[in-house]
């Protein structure tokens, strides 16, 4: 019998495929630095039984129309705003993501970004490498304290709670905003629920961990930045789509907020000429929230487990609700 065909949109380590090789045929996009062109993906989707894809792959209605026998789309990410869930559902295609395995790693990065932005680590690193360091001086590259400040976490899901645990270690006051109250986070992590506007008005660090949806798109707009304190820092580790980047740029330029740490952008990869990247008070990272060797391997393994389960006729471990 012909083995089911699994297409992977990036190079996957061969060793991870070994346990599945007897049952499935694998093929993947070989070039690590570039994403699969739309034309090639369309060709592959026509014949694939399973697809493992990345956040940058737009799995929209028009490409899904090409699928003839696709049974599962396994996204190598916890967020899945790149996939048209309705279109997948209408073709009985299961969608899975990679929750849990990346929670702590992403929270580590979120906190690293917060610290780097507050203490101006990138500017300091550039300063020393450019040979500018001539003498020690009291306010040289002086940033903002993190300990005992107020963090405002927007989106109290798994990563939000993991951030709150880290914030506890820094003696921070923790506010959060979420669609619904999270009583466990309140009782166990000492977090306080606030309306979006109260959080914006009060927090020293506003951290976005909210998934991108029609409700959250552009929620950080000019009004939101106006509400923030002038010395507030904005950190985004969720999706660029939740921010109006033009409004963020203006807020940073006008001094409405102090600085931003951004791991995600509306257009990814962002152009190096983008105005946000010209500002010294922006720390920018290329969407590396879950990028540790251990976690990326766990994400691959979870995606493979999900694919194998569906192709063998059982339920996947981490389906998204469609
Ligand atoms: O952005 C990455 C993810 O959603 O896992």
Q: Would the CB of 240 count as within 6 Å of ligand 1?
A: no
CATH architecture of 103-284: 3-Layer(aba) Sandwich (3.40)
Q: Would the CB of 77 count as within 6 Å of ligand 1?
A: yes
| Substitution site in 213, 268, 290 for ligand 1 pocket (most atoms within 8 Å of beta carbon) | 290
Topology given in CATH for the domain delimited by 5-101+293-311 = Rossmann fold (3.40.50)
Domain boundaries, the chain: 5-101+293-311, 103-284
* Residue 177 a catalytic site member: no
Q: Would the CB of 261 count as within 6 Å of ligand 1?
A: no
Q: Cβ distance 18 to 37 under 8 Å? A: no
Tens digit of pLDDT per residue, the chain (322 long)?
A: 899 999 999 999 999 999 999 999 999 999 877 899 999 999 999 999 999 999 999 999 999 999 999 999 999 999 999 999 999 999 999 999 999 999 999 999 999 999 999 999 999 999 999 999 999 999 999 999 999 999 999 999 999 999 999 999 999 999 999 999 999 999 999 999 999 999 999 999 999 999 999 999 999 999 999 999 999 999 999 999 999 999 999 999 999 999 999 999 999 999 999 999 999 999 999 999 999 999 999 999 999 999 999 999 999 999 999 8
Interface ipTM: 0.97
> Ligand 1 center to residue 314 CA distance, Å?
25
How much is the pTM? 0.97
Which of 31, 38, 268, 312 is an active site residue?
A: 268
* Residue 268 a catalytic site member: yes
Q: Would the CB of 117 count as within 6 Å of ligand 1?
A: no
Q: Would the CB of 209 count as within 6 Å of ligand 1?
A: no
């Amino acid at each position: 019998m012909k083995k089911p065909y699994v297409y992977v949109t990036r190079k996957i380590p061969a060793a991870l495929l070994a346990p599945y090789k007897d049952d499935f045929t694998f093929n993947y996009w070989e070039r690590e630095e570039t994403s699969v062109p739309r034309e090639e993906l369309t060709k592959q989707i026509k014949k694939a039984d399973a697809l493992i894809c990345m956040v940058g792959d737009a799995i929209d209605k028009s490409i899904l129309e090409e699928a003839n026998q696709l049974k599962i789309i396994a996204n190598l990410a916890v967020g899945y705003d790149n996939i048209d869930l309705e279109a997948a559902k209408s073709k009985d295609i299961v969608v899975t993501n990679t929750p849990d395995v990346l929670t702590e790693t992403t929270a580590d990065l979120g906190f690293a970004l917060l610290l780097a932005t507050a203490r101006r680590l990138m500017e300091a690193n550039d300063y020393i490498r450019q040979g500018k360091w001539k003498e020690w001086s009291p306010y040289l590259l002086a940033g903002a304290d993190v300990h005992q400040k107020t963090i405002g976490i927007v989106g109290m899901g798994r990563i939000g709670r993991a951030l709150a645990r880290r914030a506890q270690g820094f003696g921070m006051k923790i506010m959060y905003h979420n669609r619904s109250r999270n009583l466990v986070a309140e009782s166990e992590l000492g977090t306080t629920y606030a309306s979006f506007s109260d959080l914006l008005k009060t927090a020293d660090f506003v951290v976005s961990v909210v998934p991108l949806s029609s409700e959250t798109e552009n929620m950080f707009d000019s009004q939101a930045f106006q509400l923030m304190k002038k010395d507030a820092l904005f950190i985004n580790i969720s999706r660029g789509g939740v921010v109006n980047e033009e409004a963020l740029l203006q807020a940073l330029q006008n001094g409405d907020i102090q600085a931003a740490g951004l791991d995600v952008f509306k257009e990814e990869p962002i152009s190096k000429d983008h105005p946000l990247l010209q500002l010294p008070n922006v720390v920018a990272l290329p969407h590396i929230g879950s990028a540790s060797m251990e976690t990326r391997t766990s994400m691959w393994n979870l995606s493979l487990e999900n694919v194998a389960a569906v192709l063998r006729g059982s339920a996947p471990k981490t389906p998204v609700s469609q």
